[in-house]
Structure formats: structure tokens, C-alpha cells
Amino acid sequence: MVSPELARERDYVSTLYARLDALRDETRAQLEAVQRGSAGGTHQARTERDAFARLYEDRIAQLGEVDERLAFGRIELDDGAKRYIGRIGLRDADQQSILLDWRVPQASAFYRATAVTPLGTRARRHLTSQGREVIRIEDEVFDRALLDGDTTELQGEGALLAALTAERTGRMTDIVATIQGEQDRIIRSDLAGVLVVQGGPGTGKTAVALHRAAYLLYSHRERLRSSGVLIVGPSPSFLQYIEAVLPSLGETGVVLSSVGQLYPGVDTTLEDAPEVAALKGHARMAELIARGVKSRQRVPAEPQVMDVNGEKLTLEPHVVATAMAAAQRTRKPHNIARQQFQKAVLRALAATLADQLRSHGNTIDDSDMGWLLEDLRASYDVRVALNTAWMPLTPEKFIQDLFARPQWFASLTPRWSPAERALLRRDRDQPFTVSDIPLLDEAAELLGEFDQANDTERRERKRQFKRDVENAEAAIRNMGVEGLVDAEELAAGFGETAARGTTAERAAADRNWSYGHVVVDEAQELSPMQWRLLRRRCPLRSFTIVGDVAQASAAAAAPNWTEALRSLTDAFRLEELTVNYRTPSQITQAAEEVAIGHGLHVSRSRAVRASEWPVEQFVVAPDELGDAVIDVVDEDRELDSRGTLAVIAPPSLVQAQYLALRERFGATVGRGARGLSLPIAVLTPQEAKGLEFDAVVVVNPHDILESSTRGVGALYVAMTRPTQRLRIVGTRALALDAESSREPLAG
């Protein structure tokens, strides 16, 4: 029997869906109209129509994305008016608002109102739906008279707990229906400046960062549409885990990048050994690279005799020195300043050559200087001399040479120990690693465009885009769709620019792109050199930085945010998240105890819920470890065959564990990122960063502890991934609460 209230909500929500369908139909009709017209007309008219068509297709896709849980809440205002809150805003045919976008200021009360501070509301209602049908309503009435000091801080507790205990799919979902007050404040915080969000595992940092990106894109659409938002995560598997969240909030067009993809043209997941990564990440690498670039501008020790068209010409060191000093004074990047240097040397040489020719009785006047310069440019000797003094360089070649030429490297690092230098030594043909990315970027910054054409082309592209936006504005006026279609977005689909894709695609491919906002997740892992790179990506310094200093795994990780961000800024706002939404209290407690027991300073958090399963530990003989892991996994699959399970093993064991599990469980097991879409994923703690699973089996925790100087951080990460069950299988007992150990393995 459906209650009258539920029936009323069902009716209301079905009118919302009817409206959504109508909008979809309207957009489809617009698309068809545009497609029908696309055969004839001028080239300009055709590109405009194509751009409109793409825009309508995107809009249709976007309306499809928000179908699931379109409306999820309602607030009742003091005056009795009711406002529905949903993924997007909707107006009826008379332009009356029937659904508020969760990001508009009026919707904030839905997330923040409490009985103590009701923010102009009398009640809040959570709507839980299945498909398009509301199946449950949950009411909170803000009546101060009912306050007895025992009020929960959680908003929409029923809906929240349902979301938190739902089975995991290997993909993060949005939390828009159940954002909590402390999270909402962060999500809606100002765009300007650097905002740091610190919180223990599972406190919703990633969720908050993504919802903040969606909020900023909505509230600062004008600015961020054209400049774009960059979201940086630790690894491709993490990006795969989060990639569906923003589209489900109706936002596409952000650039998602792992730290190994931040330098256009290189895409790597290769990690250096921790001590190598620590050296490469240190801020002093910036000075080293600057010295390295400078050292490629060299005044020859001796005069050089050159052959120019049969004429012997001497290049004196002081001529090179004067030209070099003048070019260096411009403070332009190496490859750009080189052009000035080259011109100055050639002019000086041409004058000498002219004098020489005159001394042989030739008449040389100003009009002859052009061909003299041509002769000089064509001379092999001159080219060699110019290049030896000032070689044009690509960042790739520069960094390859830096580590492959020990003598040059030693000359740049007089204060380094031979052991430190040896750590960075490598052959020229070795592939780039994640910690090379900021070095390449630093070098690119100091070297400038190798090819001047690129520079000119970039400027021309910018000018073209400006023209395209003006044309788009005119086209929008002509079509009578002002306010419905965004000119920048439309322009991105025009002719020349279209070949290079959307704003996001263009931004991702352009090292010199200035983003309007940058979101960094798992930010505790970033090195000073990586922060320098990100600073260049957003000169306005508008950042959302989320992370947990306790979970850092890098050997050189900073102990606090002031230290960690030294290369980015010294001014930031710090917010903390304190409620753990992921891990049940037993697991949170076990993980925190182990971490603190091994000297890690963790941010303690309060778990929202307990789980019905205790943390279990199995201690086995070394030769039984593989079988024991299989048994524990087997047992867990029997308990819950539909959820996700991760086996988190130390790097030294992970491959063997994967093969053993694969033999037993076949294609349901995947290694690394591939495992995320499968029931069983086998991962290292590093790969498990930021992810979550219904159940986790941690293998040989002592090996994880001892695998690096930050082993305790890695174990803490591993233990805090489950939403339901944590099991530990090892050859040595981990000091846990006595009750949790089972010895030997049951069954």
C-alpha cells in the first residue's frame, strides 16, 4: 500500500521526467532540423551547422546522463513553499522553476540546514528512487522544540547509510543526494585562491573535490568554459575509477590527467625507485636544469677559422661573448634567445667578411650585405660554430642527455655525492618515468619552443578562436537561441578550431594552456617539482588540493601542507574533513592503531557506521601463504559473490598472487587497473590509492611495512580501502586487537 505522501511525490517526480523527455524531444527536433539543412550553403554556414549539431548531440547525451535519480530532495521553506532539488534545474513550459539545480544558492539549505540552524527551512525530505520511480521518502523536521541534545549531525541518515552500504561497482558514483554539511561548505567555497582539504581515508575528499569541480563549472561557467578545469589524480586506474562522476553531474569537458600525463606528448606510468624519485622531485632540480640550459650557451676558448664560400673567416671568442650577453639579457627562453644570438653573430661576421673582401679589392656596399648573410648561413662551418656555442634543444633531448652524460652532469652538481649522481645515471634510450615529467616541463619552460613556427601558430590559433567566438555569437543571434547555447562552446566546434577538438582536448595537448582551476587529488604525493609544473598550468593559482599527509608514500613526502606546498604557494585556506564515510568503525580503528603503533601521525576520523564483520587476521607458514590467500578470497566470495574484492599485496608478491588467483578464479581476476571492472582486483598499495572495494584482503602486511621508508603509510592505505570487510593474511602476526586474530586458517 503506497502512502498518500509517497504517491504525491511519485506524481511530482513523473512530471519532472515528462519535462525532461520533452526537452530531449525538443533538442532532437532541433538536431534533425540542423541536420536536414546541412547539405548546402557556404562553407561558413556548413561549419556553423555542424557545430550546432554537435552541441545538440552533447545536450541530448547530457540529458540522458541525469536521468538516474533526477530529483532526490525537497525542502519546505518557512512560508510553506516547497522546492525540489535535483541534478539539473528544470522549468516548465511557462518558465516556472520546477526543479532546482543542486548547485544554485537556494539549494544549499538542503545540505546544510540543521535543527539548530534551519536556514529558513522547516523540513527536508530525501527521495530515494529506483529507475524513475520514487520508492522511499525520508523526512527531517527542523523543530527546535524537539531538540533534546541528541541530534545526529548526519543529514538524511537513512539515504546516506543506504548509499554507504551499497555494493561497489569499481566506479565511483556521485554523492549529490547525500552531501553532508561540512562537505557542502567546501564544495561551495570561493573559486579564487588555494583551498586545501585535509582528511583521513574515506572522509570524502575525492567526492568533495569532484563535486566542487562541478559546482565551480556551473557557478563560473563563463570563465571556466573557455579556460577549462584540470583534475589531476595519481594514476590512470584512479582516473578510471572517478571518470563517470562528472558526466553524471551533467559536466563534461574537464581534463582528467594522471601525474604521468601532465607533459603533452609523453604518457607514462613507469615509476622510478623511491630514492631516485625523491632526488628528481627535489626543488633543487629546477636550479640544476637552469644551470644545465645555461651551460649549453658556451663561448669558445679559441678563435675559430671557418670556410665561407672559399673565404677563410675567423670567429673571435669576444664576438660570440658580446652576442651571447645581449641575447641573455633579453631573458627569453634558450631557443628563442638563440635566434637573436644567431642574428648578432651573423651580422658581426658579415661585417668582418665585407672588410676582408674589400681588402682583396672587392667593392662591397650595403646592398651586398644580404647575400653575404646568405653565404654565412649556408656555410657548414658557420652552422657548426653557432650550434656549438648555442645549440637549439628539445626538452626531451636535454633531459635524456642530462642523465646520460656523466661528466656534464657532474659539472652541474658539484655538491652532490658520487652515489647520488650514480642514482640518476641512465642511458639515453631509456623511457621517461613519472618523475621525469616535471623535469621535461621545467626544461620546456626554460628552452621555449624549439620551432618558432609553433609559437607563431599558437598565437594565430588564439586569434582564430577569438574570431570564431565572435562568429558564434552572431550565429546564436541569427538562430534565436540566445541564452541556450554558449558561444565559446559553439566556437570550439568551428572549422579550423574543430580539427583540434573541444576546449578540453585543446587544453590537454597544450603545455602553455592556462587553466581556470586545477583540482589535485592525493596531493600529498606530489613533489616540489610537480607543484612547480602545476603552478605553470594555473598562473591565477586557483586550486583545490585534497589529500592526507598521513597516507603519503613518497620517501620525500612532506610532513604537513605548508611544507608540501612550498613550491606552489605560501597562502592557502585549510579545511578538514573528519567523518569517515567509507570504512566501518572496526576497520578504521584497526588501521589507525596499526598506523599509530608504527609511528605514523594520522588524522583520526569518526566512522559513520559499524560493520557486521570483524577485522580478521590469519597467520600462516610461508609456504602456505598463496593457498591461504586463495582460501580467504574463496570464503569472501561465498559471503558476497556480487561485490568487489581487492587483494592488496606488497610489490614483491603481487604478480605471483595474481597468477595464483587467476588460476583459481579465472577471468574474474584482474591485475592493476584492469581489475577494477572485474570482481577481483589484485593491486599494490600504491595502485590501490584512492580506490575502494566491498572487501579487501591484505597480504603480508610486514612486507608492505618494510617495502619502503613510508611502508606504514602504504599499509594504512591498504587497510582503509574496504567498505565492508577487511582480512589480513600474513606469515607474521600484525599487532591488532586480540579478538580479531584467527589462527591457523579456518578450513
Ligand X SMILES: Nc1ncnc2c1ncn2[C@@H]1O[C@H](COP(=O)(O)OP(=O)(O)OP(=O)(O)O)[C@@H](O)[C@H]1O
| Binding site, annotated residues | 199-206
In the structure, how many helices (H) and strands (E) does the chain have? 31, 23
**Choice from 87, 126, 296, 582 touching ligand X (CB under 6 A):** 582
Q: 536-552 burial, b for 16+ CB within 10 Å, e for fewer? A: bbbeeebbbbbbbbbbb
Please report the sign of the dihedral spanned by the C-alpha atoms of residue 408, residue 413, residue 417, residue 423: negative
Nearest Cα neighbor of 248 from 176, 159, 162 is: 176
Stretch that binds ligand X, among 174-182, 403-411, 499-507, 566-574 (CB under 6 A): 174-182
Q: Which residue(s) pair with 731 in the sheet? A: none
Cell of 299: 663561448
Q: Which residues are annotated as a binding site for ATP?
A: 199-206
Nearest Cα neighbor of 60 from 33, 22, 27 is: 27
* H helix intervals, 171-311: 181-187, 205-219, 221-227, 236-242, 245-248, 274-281, 284-295
Element (H, E) at 77: strand 71-77
**Choice from 86, 118, 202, 392 touching ligand X (CB under 6 A):** 202
Stretch that binds ligand X, among 176-184, 280-288, 337-345, 699-707 (CB under 6 A): 176-184
Residue 87 near ligand X by CB under 6 A: no
CB count within 10 Å of CB 132 equals 15
CB count within 10 Å of CB 1 equals 3
CB 196 within 8 Å of CB 574: yes
Q: How far apart are CA 659 and CA 237, in angstroms?
A: 20
Residue 714 near ligand X by CB under 6 A: no
Q: How far apart are CA 313 and CA 385, in angstroms?
A: 12
| Peptide bond connecting 744 to the previous residue in cis, omega within 30 degrees of 0 | yes
Rounded least distance, CB 118 to ligand X, Å:
20
DSSP 8-state class, residue 351: H
Rounded least distance, CB 132 to ligand X, Å:
21
Stretch that binds ligand X, among 54-62, 194-202, 400-408, 595-603 (CB under 6 A): 194-202
According to CB under 6 A, which residues from 654 to 693 bind ligand X? 690, 692
Stretch that binds ligand X, among 197-205, 213-221, 587-595, 708-716 (CB under 6 A): 197-205
Q: CA 16 from chain center: how many Å?
A: 34
**Choice from 30, 203, 497, 708 touching ligand X (CB under 6 A):** 203
**Choice from 352, 588, 707, 720 touching ligand X (CB under 6 A):** 720
Residue 479 or 596 with smaller CB distance to ligand X? 596
Residue 235 near ligand X by CB under 6 A: no
Residue 386 near ligand X by CB under 6 A: no
Stretch that binds ligand X, among 54-62, 204-212, 424-432, 480-488 (CB under 6 A): 204-212
CB count within 10 Å of CB 310 equals 6
Rounded least distance, CB 187 to ligand X, Å:
10
Q: What is the DSSP pairing of strand 90-91 with strand 82-86? A: unpaired
Amino acid letter, residue 477: R
Q: What is the CA radius of gyration of the chain?
A: 31
Residue 179 or 439 with smaller CB distance to ligand X? 179
Stretch that binds ligand X, among 98-106, 201-209, 484-492, 672-680 (CB under 6 A): 201-209
Residue 204 near ligand X by CB under 6 A: yes
Cell of 658: 595474481
Residue 154 or 736 with smaller CB distance to ligand X? 154
Rounded least distance, CB 546 to ligand X, Å:
7
Residue 205 near ligand X by CB under 6 A: yes
Residue 540 near ligand X by CB under 6 A: no
According to CB under 6 A, which residues from 207 to 226 bind ligand X? 207
Stretch that binds ligand X, among 203-211, 219-227, 342-350, 557-565 (CB under 6 A): 203-211
Rounded least distance, CB 207 to ligand X, Å:
4
CB 669 within 8 Å of CB 661: yes
Rounded least distance, CB 726 to ligand X, Å:
13
Residue 721 or 727 with smaller CB distance to ligand X? 721
According to CB under 6 A, which residues from 150 to 169 bind ligand X? 160, 163-164
DSSP 8-state class, residue 251: -
Interacting residues toward ligand X by CB under 6 A? 160, 163-164, 175, 178-180, 183, 199, 201-207, 548, 551, 581-582, 690, 692, 720
